[in-house]
Structure 1
Amino acid sequence: MTGPKPQRSPARSVDAREGIIDAAIRLIDATGPNPSMDDIAREAGATKPRLYRQFADKADLYAAIAQRSTDEVYNAIVPKFNFFLNTPIEALNHAVTAYADAVTAHPNVFRFLLQGQHRSSDGLPLSLEMERDLARRLEDVARNIFETISLDSSDLAFVARAAVGAIVSITDLWLESAKTEDVPGLGAFVEQGSALLWGLFDTYLRRLGVEVDGNEPLFMSMAKITGAAEGS
């Protein structure tokens, strides 16, 4: 008489899943943005049946890689959004630098995410899934900042999507340029990205009737605006 099958520990299952994601990222880093499931299984020291016990299909694994990358980008840049102690331009510069560091740490992973041929289980390009997720999270961060200083945040979804979309687009340009001799350095990418983002946010603020100096901390600009309103 056989006893009941041992139940797989949820913690072990999560560890196995994370280990496969780690292996896939290592493989993409080393060999380029077009990994095969056979190669990923081999890098993970697993069989393909074991791999498919952790992921429903290739799209499920690819979506997990995109989610890991999105989480890492978000966790890297959000602490840099200190608009109260830094000027808005400085805060954006720090955030774009943190993002650029993440890209340079795993350029082939970002090529894998951005090239468009890989899709999630929903059939959407991984780049679009990543943009949507990151934009939603950054929108929440921006909304908290705006509400702290009593600014209208009703249309922040538009500017968040525009900002993330712009950075993703110039990331693709940056990575594509790396295939030629004319490669813009990290400093040039950060300078261009920060200026582009500030232009988007400045335009959005002006539509709200608010003029903010990008070279002074936000609380100082808001104090001037509040003082002018009270004195009028």
Structure 2
Amino acid sequence: MDDEVDHAGVARATPRDGRDARWERHREERRAALVDATIRAIRKHGAAVGMDDIAAEAGTSKTVIYRHFDDKAGLYRAVAARIDGRVVGNVGSALGGTGTPPGDTRELVASTVDAYLALVESDTEVYRFVVNRPLVDRPLPDDPVGGTVDQVTDQLTGLLLASLSGAATDPTRARTWAIALVGSVRAVADDWLATAESERASRAAVVEALTDLAWHGLAPILSPDQPARTH
């Protein structure tokens, strides 16, 4: 939007042409439609989907797609942003809607783990596409996956500070635990998906195992000759 200068020499904003606003809205809608088509193509062809498959699903050409996203990395970022919203929203809903008192932190941990794994299980190929970046052949300075992890970590850190007492009220310790939990869930999710479906543990079993580890640590399962350290 350009500025005009009045007789007093003061700049004032020029009203935006209605056609510009309509064109911008059209571009946003077109970009959203292309992201939708990309996600459909991923679900149909798998995480290793190619640009030709995406263009065919969208009923357009690769040239048109690049006109809206500049390159493959731009399209990847747009898909990752869509999934980012789902991950943060799903985990946020689980953290904020457990229906348990603040002190029941074990249930909070279990809900966090289950919300993440539920999305992984329900949209496996799209998750693989976002995590493995098959379309992107160069490092991305603005890692979308890292941004999602940071947002979930922030949510969990705040809830740990609100729910726990004593040592956990130290923000540094609470964030360290949140980072450890989110990182372990992501690592386990990746390994879980890499396991053949016929041999894969149930989501409930994985949630229970991760929650037990987060809640009790290794102390309860150490052998007698490996006592837990008390200091």
Q: TM-score, normalised by structure 1?
A: 0.70
Matched, 1:23 2:37: yes
In the alignment, the residues of structure 1 paired with residue 104 and residue 182 of structure 2 have an alpha-carbon distance, to the nearest angstrom, of: 20
Matched, 1:183 2:183: no
Matched, 1:39 2:53: yes
1:128-174: CA deviation from partner (whole Å, max 9, x where unpaired): 641x2123213332443355478221355544333222111111111
Alignment RMSD (CA, Å): 3.0
Deviation at 1:12?
Answer: 1.6
Q: Tell which structure's C-alpha radius of gyration is larger.
A: 2
Question: Aligned pair in 2 of structure 1 residues 187, 78: CA closer, same or farther (>3 Å)?
Answer: same
Aligned length: 193
Match of 2:187 among 159, 169, 173: 169
Say whether the 8 Å CA contact 2:42–2:126 is kept in structure 1.
Answer: yes
By relative contact order (CA 8 Å, sep 6+), the higher-ranking structure is 1
Matched, 1:78 2:96: no
Say whether the 8 Å CA contact 1:135–1:164 is kept in structure 2.
Answer: yes
Aligned to 1:112: 129
**How is 1:67-146 mapped onto 2 (pairs within 5 angstroms)?**
67-81=81-95, 82=98, 84-85=101-102, 87-115=104-132, 117-119=134-136, 123-124=139-140, 129-130=144-145, 132-145=146-159
Deviation at 1:107?
Answer: 0.5
The percent of aligned pairs where both chains have the same amino acid is 29
Structure 1 residue ranges without an equivalent (≥5): 1-5, 201-232
SS in 1 for 2:199: coil
Aligned to 1:153: 171
Q: TM-score, normalised by structure 2?
A: 0.70
In the alignment, the residues of structure 2 paired with residue 43 and residue 110 of structure 1 have an alpha-carbon distance, to the nearest angstrom, of: 19
**How is 1:152-231 mapped onto 2 (pairs within 5 angstroms)?**
152-154=170-172, 156-178=174-196, 181-198=198-215
Aligned to 2:78: 64
Say whether the 8 Å CA contact 2:110–2:211 is kept in structure 1.
Answer: yes
SS in 2 for 1:166: helix
Say whether the 8 Å CA contact 1:96–1:190 is kept in structure 2.
Answer: yes
Structure 2 residue ranges without an equivalent (≥5): 1-18, 218-231
In the alignment, the residues of structure 2 paired with residue 14 and residue 178 of structure 1 have an alpha-carbon distance, to the nearest angstrom, of: 39
